Amino acid sequence: MAKTLTRNEVNALLKQARQSFPHDECLTCECFLGYLTQLGMDAGEEVHSLFDEVGIDYQHAHSCMGCDPCPPADLFAEYLSARDQ
């Protein structure tokens, strides 16, 4: 089982993801939202307030736009790989 992420770790991962976005629409893309969901599952309760600060309007969630590369998806894959080692 993976360790619980700390607030600082989650904050750094969210900052890295936001800085990697090639489009404003990445904030509501399923690639980023999947990453965000996984971080939420791996984080302790005290970290969940960080997700509110991201400011996602879930009503505007959309499927992947097919960007190549897709930074949020790449970060998600890298995170899962590192977590599971």
Position 24 in a domain: yes
* pLDDT for the residue 74: 96
pLDDT at 85 over 90: no
Position 72 in a domain: yes
* pLDDT for the residue 2: 62
What average pLDDT does this structure show over 20-38?
Answer: 93
Domain tally, the chain? 1
* pLDDT for the residue 52: 80
- Classify residue 36 by burial, with Cβ atoms within 10 Å: 0-12, 13-18, 19+: buried
Position 1 in a domain: no
> What residues form DSSP beta bridges with 62?
29
pLDDT at 1 over 70: no
- Convert the pLDDT of each residue in 30-73 to its tens digit: 999 999 999 989 998 878 788 888 878 888 999 999 999 999 99
Position 2 in a domain: no
Expressed as residue numbers, the domain containing 26 is: 7-83
8 A C-beta contact, residue 78 and residue 40? no
Cβ partners under 8 Å of residue 68, min gap 6: none
E-state strands within 1-85: none
